[in-house]
């Protein structure tokens, strides 16, 4: 009954809205898909152009680089971008008070996700700034030799989960500060700063379906962890990070954390299932595929596969209708293979042929199937063209070949 | 509650919303306590309002379709 009345109202509203709608400027990069191959080489036949070109966007499978903004998060942010535009540090009027209330509410949401006290959360411009604040603290520490251990909770390239609770226990027994960059882990795996004895933690907004340009650092109060401020100024955020706190962004971060807390279990189940589907399909249909990273301590949403005898860059180019990456976005400009893969001891040739598949909250089964199919198709095609593959098929061991210099 | 979602222009959110709501209803179908039921219904009403607003915004700023949206039709 509720549904029917709601539906009638919505349908009427939408039909009305569908009338004269101004064209939003599209700045997207268009992927041209020619429906039919051009039948003649003569370009002047423009009027009789056979291809009905449709313009389509690629699928997004790169959630480790960044995530789309969850509609619930955008809904929480918009009032603070439109109407409630006060500076949260203004103490003398309602605009400031409502903005401050929103900021403190967001702080509480972030804190409850990681089991911390709200007074221990400082808002920053992202996980990178948080990491810098934490590392700078090294200079302020009094310990003789090791003063800070810094570990990534979930690796962004291969998805391996580090044994944080173990490390935390060891660090606290040796009185060493423990910092972790939890950008890829917050909201995806359960984290509790007290159980895991974490002293400092970096949080990034845009990795958990929140806005870009905001993050937070968790700084333990009991026992107190002293940090040195990176930027000085008006003394906001307890003097640890001066600068006006961007209310819309932190409200977005808070909402993203709250949504993540609610959806964590559901998302984890779904993502595990889809990850299983993707790897099973690819590995069943293609030989010589290696999954990088420990299969047991692994976050399912980040799958890094190496396809032997295929070059990673050419596979990425071939899979142009799926947005993927090989290695991390931070290092994607350079042509060197990923330092992470090198560190875990992968062979050079396998390190060059690795692709990272990211599965997130909004990834669908169709997208996973499509990606797997395209991947299988292109790997087979590229292998057909590869002389190394031919040699392997003939039974030659590649490691025994002595390549001559030209 | 499902019907407004069919209008989400972005495929991502449309499929997510349909799936999530269906699963949430299934999980909660055995709830008997009236207070809890009322809380769930209130949450649902609030989410419904949010989704209608977001669908509107999505349509205002709509962009091209995804690759697979085009392919689904000829196959079915």
Span A306-322, pLDDT tens digits:
888 888 888 888 988 89
Proportion of chain B in helix, strand, coil states, percent, rounded to 5: 80, 5, 15
Query: What's the pLDDT at B9?
Result: 64
Q: Can you say how many angstroms the Cα of residue A90 is from the centroid of all Cα atoms in its chain? A: 34
Cβ pair A156, A145 in contact under 8 A: no
Query: What's the pLDDT at A25?
Result: 54
If phi > 0 it is left, if psi is from -120 to 50 it is alpha, else beta; for residue A113 that is alpha
Contact (CB<8Å) B1/A6: yes
Query: What's the pLDDT at A82?
Result: 92
The least confident of A16-20, A100-104, A105-109, B52-56 is A16-20
Q: What is the pLDDT of residues A321-376, one digit of tens each?
A: 898 887 654 555 566 667 777 788 877 777 788 888 999 999 999 999 999 999 99
Q: Where are the beta strands (DSSP E) in A334-404?
A: 354-358
Cβ pair B1, A6 in contact under 8 A: yes
The least confident of A132-146, A190-204, A212-226 is A132-146
Q: What is the pLDDT of residues A89-107, one digit of tens each?
A: 999 999 999 999 999 999 9
User: Whole-angstrom Cα distance, residue A270 to residue A291?
Assistant: 20
Contact (CB<8Å) A10/B7: yes
Contact (CB<8Å) B63/A28: yes
User: Whole-angstrom Cα distance, residue A215 to residue A205?
Assistant: 5
List residues of chain A with CB under 8 Å from any CB of chain B.
2-3, 6-7, 10-11, 13-14, 17, 21, 24, 26, 28, 30-31, 33, 54-60, 68, 71-72, 74-75, 266, 321-322, 361-362, 364, 366-367, 370
User: Whole-angstrom Cα distance, residue A376 to residue A404?
Assistant: 33
Query: What's the pLDDT at A279?
Result: 92
Flag whether the pTM goes above 0.90: no
Query: What's the pLDDT at A42?
Result: 42
Q: How confident is the model at residue A182 (pLDDT cuts 50, 70, 90)?
A: confident
Query: What's the pLDDT at A27?
Result: 58
Query: What's the pLDDT at A239?
Result: 83
The least confident of A88-92, A152-156, A228-232 is A152-156
Cβ pair A267, A361 in contact under 8 A: yes
Query: What's the pLDDT at A101?
Result: 96
Q: How confident is the model at residue A388 (pLDDT cuts 50, 70, 90)?
A: confident
The closest of A115, A107, A111, A261 to A196, measured between CA atoms, is A115
The least confident of A9-23, A144-158, A248-262, A294-308 is A9-23
Strands A148-152 and A177-181 turn out to be: parallel
- A303 has pLDDT over 50: yes
Identify any residues that bridge with A218 across adjacent strands, giving them in sequence order.
A121, A201
Query: What's the pLDDT at A390?
Result: 87
Contact (CB<8Å) B61/A56: no
Mean pLDDT of the A369-392 span: 90
Catalytic residues of A: 330
- A226 has pLDDT over 60: yes
Q: What is the average pLDDT value for chain A, to the nearest integer?
A: 80
Q: Can you say how many angstroms the Cα of residue A91 is from the centroid of all Cα atoms in its chain? A: 37
Q: What is the pLDDT of residues A231-266, one digit of tens each?
A: 888 888 888 888 899 999 999 999 999 999 999 999
- Interface predicted TM-score of the whole assembly (ipTM), two decimals: 0.81
Contact (CB<8Å) A71/B54: yes
Chain B residues in contact with A362 by the CB 8 A cut-off are: 12-13, 15-16
Q: What is the pLDDT of residues A264-276, one digit of tens each?
A: 999 999 999 999 9
The alpha-carbon radius of gyration of chain B (Å, integer) is: 15
Mean pLDDT of the A58-78 span: 91
Does B35 contact chain A (CB < 8 Å)? no
User: Whole-angstrom Cα distance, residue A50 to residue B35?
Assistant: 63
Q: How far is B32 from chain A (nearest CA, A)?
A: 19
More confident residue, A257 or A140: A257
Q: How confident is the model at residue B16 (pLDDT cuts 50, 70, 90)?
A: confident
């Amino acid at each position: 009954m509720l549904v029917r009345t709601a539906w009638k109202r919505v349908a009427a509203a939408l039909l009305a809205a569908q009338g004269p709608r101004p064209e939003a400027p599209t700045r997207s990069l268009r992927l041209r898909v020619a429906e039919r191959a051009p039948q003649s080489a003569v370009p002047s036949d423009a009027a009789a152009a056979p291809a009905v070109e449709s313009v389509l966007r690629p699928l997004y499978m790169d959630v480790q680089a960044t995530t789309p903004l969850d509609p619930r998060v955008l809904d929480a942010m918009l009032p603070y971008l439109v109407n409630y535009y006060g500076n949260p540090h203004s103490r003398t009027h309602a605009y400031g008070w409502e903005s401050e209330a929103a900021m403190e509410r967001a702080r509480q949401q972030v804190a409850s996700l990681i089991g911390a006290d709200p007074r221990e959360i400082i808002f920053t411009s992202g996980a990178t700034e948080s990491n810098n604040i934490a590392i700078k603290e090294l200079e302020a520490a009094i310990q003789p030799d090791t003063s800070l251990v810094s570990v990534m909770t979930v690796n962004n390239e291969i998805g391996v989960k580090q044994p944080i609770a173990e490390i935390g226990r060891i660090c606290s027994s040796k009185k060493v500060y423990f910092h972790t960059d939890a950008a890829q882990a917050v909201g995806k795996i359960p984290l509790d700063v007290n159980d895991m004895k974490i002293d400092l933690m970096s949080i990034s907004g845009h990795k958990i379906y929140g806005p870009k340009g905001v993050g937070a650092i968790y700084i333990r109060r009991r026992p107190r962890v002293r940090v040195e401020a990176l930027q000085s100024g008006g003394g906001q955020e307890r003097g640890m990070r001066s600068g006006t706190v961007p209310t819309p962004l932190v409200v977005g971060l808070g909402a993203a954390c709250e949504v993540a807390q609610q959806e964590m279990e559901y998302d984890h189940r779904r993502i595990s299932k889809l990850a299983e589907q993707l790897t099973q399909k690819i590995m069943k249909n293609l030989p010589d595929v290696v999954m990088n990273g420990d299969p047991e301590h692994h976050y399912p949403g980040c799958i890094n596969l190496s396809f032997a005898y295929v070059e990673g860059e050419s596979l990425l180019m071939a899979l142009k209708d799926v947005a993927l990456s090989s290695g991390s976005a931070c290092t994607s400009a350079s042509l060197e293979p990923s330092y992470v893969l090198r560190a875990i001891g992968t062979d050079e040739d396998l390190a060059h042929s690795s692709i990272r598949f990211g599965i997130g909250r909004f990834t669908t089964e169709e997208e996973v199937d499509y990606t797997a199919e395209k991947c299988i198709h292109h790997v087979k095609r590229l292998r057909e063209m590869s002389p190394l593959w031919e040699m392997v098929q003939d039974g030659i061991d590649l490691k025994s070949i002595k390549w001559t210099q030209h | 509650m499902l019907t407004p979602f069919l209008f989400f222009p972005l495929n991502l959110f449309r499929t997510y919303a349909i799936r999530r709501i269906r699963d949430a209803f299934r999980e909660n179908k055995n709830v008997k306590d009236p207070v809890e039921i009322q809380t769930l219904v209130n949450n649902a009403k609030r989410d419904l309002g949010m989704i209608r607003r977001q669908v509107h915004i999505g349509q205002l700023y709509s962009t091209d379709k995804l690759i697979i949206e085009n392919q689904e039709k000829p196959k079915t």
